[in-house]
Amino acid sequence: MNLVDLITTGRGYVTRGQFLDCGYSDRDIRAAVRSGLLRRRRQGVYVHAATFDVLSPEQQHVVDVRSVADKLGPAVAVSHQSACAIHGAAMYGTRLDRIHVTRLDGAAGRTAHGIVHHEGQVVRDDDLEEIDGMLVVKAPRSIFELGTTGSVESAIVVMDSGLHLALTTPEDLEELGRRFESWPGARRARYAASLADGRAESPGESRSRYLFRRYNLPVPELQVAIHDESGELIGFTDFGWTEYRHLGEFDGKVKYGGLVGDPRTPQEIAFAEKKREDRLRRQLFGISRWTWHEIAPSQEAATVRRIEGELHQSRRLYTRNRLIIPLS
């Protein structure tokens, strides 16, 4: 097998031992690393640079997880953010530079060589499943576990994603909150679970909703359907404030390069969105828009003040002498 075939097949990574078994030497490996063909991820673990570099951070993390789980075998189960990455749950503000596993062999918890070993004293058989040849903590528990380790905001993001993707349910999260009541961080995770909403379609929407709560803005409805005078559906908006006749849109989902799989050019997408917004405004709604940059910590206060002002402006313009019908 030639070098390129070896490194682009299999489980996304190749070990030094596999190279040597195929007749390559350490000199060949070093030359491939110097040329940029290979990238070293861990001691004795390499990836094909061109294939690996186009992966998302979460997908890259899954490759690293495989290399660790394959080596450690049934003594551990992949857990916390590493398990969330395998299940496909979205994450925000979560470090992916370490692999998280839970010990199943009674070994003590420790951190070594970029691997966080969690003690597995309360792991049941029904907490685990096999995915791609690895033992992995099931999605509901891994999502709740991650919620105990970070901020409320990051917990809401992963829980919203888990609910939206049907990886977990509110009942799952509530039961886990009771089961792990004494865990460090469990109170924070339970609070996040009480706010989680599967209607959120992106981390930006989840973060925006928590931002509104922190700054005491009125609570919006999510994924609001708006119809025109004839009853035709114009579209869904991320947020809607009924009593203010105001809509909100998080613009992080549309990039300058367009949506993945969307054949339209960025200009065509922008034009279509402008037409949609004009139709929404003709139904006597105000609209606020914001981006990732505008909900960054350095910008969030100004963004909230702007949205609050636009809410009150819409109420002045569109609710005077008007019967308010709840959005649906």
Question: Encoding tokens for residue 219?
Answer: 């609570």
pLDDT at 59 (0 to 100): 95
Task: Output the average pLDDT for the chain.
Answer: 90
Q: Tokens 């105000």 map to which residue?
A: 286
Q: Are 220 and 248 in contact (CB under 8 A)?
A: yes
pLDDT at 260 (0 to 100): 52
Closest CA to 15 of 39, 47, 45: 45
pLDDT at 214 (0 to 100): 97
pLDDT at 253 (0 to 100): 61
pLDDT at 257 (0 to 100): 39
Question: Encoding tokens for residue 164?
Answer: 């939206």
| Euclidean distance between CA atoms 50 and 269, whole angstroms | 30
Q: CA torsion 120→121→127→133, rounded to 10°?
A: 30
pLDDT tens profile 31-69 = 999 999 999 999 999 999 999 999 999 999 999 999 999
- Bridge partners of 14? 46
Question: Encoding tokens for residue 115?
Answer: 């691997």
Low-confidence ranges of the chain (pLDDT < 50): 254-258
pLDDT at 172 (0 to 100): 97
| Euclidean distance between CA atoms 86 and 83, whole angstroms | 5
For residue 116, which phi and psi values (nearest 5 degrees)?
A: -95, 115
pLDDT at 120 (0 to 100): 83
Query: What are the distances in angstroms from CA 147 to CA 62, 196, 218?
Result: 19, 11, 25
Residues 6+ apart with CB under 8 A from 305: none
pLDDT at 272 (0 to 100): 67
Question: Architecture of domain 203-318 in CATH?
Answer: 3-Layer(aba) Sandwich (3.40)
pTM of the entire structure?
0.88
pLDDT at 321 (0 to 100): 59
pLDDT at 2 (0 to 100): 67
pLDDT tens profile 109-162 = 999 999 999 998 788 889 999 999 999 999 999 999 999 999 999 999 999 999
CB atoms within 10 A of CB 71: 13
pLDDT at 256 (0 to 100): 34
pLDDT at 254 (0 to 100): 45
Q: What single letter denotes the amino acid at residue 32?
A: A
pLDDT at 98 (0 to 100): 96
